[in-house]
Amino acid sequence: METNKTFTMIKPDAVANGHIGAILDHITKGGFKITALKYTYLSPEKAGEFYAVHKERPFYADLVKFMSSGPIVAAILEKENAVADFRTLIGATDPSKAEAGTIRALFAKSIDANAVHGSDSDENAAIEGSFFFSAFEKF
């Protein structure tokens, strides 16, 4: 299992609010190399599949609705200790609790519209990267 890759999405709120460039800049300056990148859209079916681990949670329906509400940017990122370091870079799930200077503190409005996704394990980073990218699209 690779420990130097993670997967991220710039969520519909941050795309709609014009933050794609600023967030990618923040990621690059944080020491992450972008090894795959795609501007795309998650249908409700695809969003449901992506977040299937949360199926039983009370916020699942709202999460699926939100994630399919507009286009997203998907990316695979490379850095030593990528998963943990990227979670530090983005900050807490609830932006009101996110540390100052983190991506969610800077660009997120609420726990639903929280600007970015970051994988929570090496295993999920690999699964999520392959959800969006074929072998020919990963560099």
Match 């409700």 to its residue by tokens.
44
Return all residues near 58 (Cβ < 8 A) that are at least 6 apart.
none
Question: How many contiguous H segments (helices) and E segments (strands) does the chain have?
Answer: 7, 4
Stretch that binds ligand ATP, among 33-41, 70-78, 95-103, 107-115 (CB under 6 A): 107-115
Q: How many CA atoms lie within 13 A of 94 on its CB side?
A: 2
54 tagged catalytic: no
Site for ligand ATP in 9-48 (CB under 6 A): none
Q: Strand pairing partners for 78? A: 5, 33
Choices 18-26, 31-39, 78-86, 114-122; region in contact with ligand ATP by CB under 6 A: 114-122
Between 2 and 94, name the residue whose CB sits nearer to ligand ATP.
Answer: 94
Q: Which of 114, 129, 127 is nearest to 62 (CA)?
A: 114
Rg (CA), the chain: 14
Nearer to ligand ATP, 37 or 92 (CB): 92
Asked if 71 and 39 touch (Cβ cutoff 8 Å), the reply is yes
Query: Considering only residues 17, 120, 122, 126, which one is a binding residue for ligand ATP as defined by CB under 6 A?
Result: 120
Among 111, 122, 126, 131, binds ligand ATP (CB under 6 A): 111
Based on CB atoms, which residue is closest to ligand ATP, 36 or 67?
Answer: 67
Q: Which residues bind ligand ATP (CB under 6 A)?
A: 54, 59, 63, 93, 111-112, 114, 117-118, 120
Which residues are identified as catalytic?
A: 117
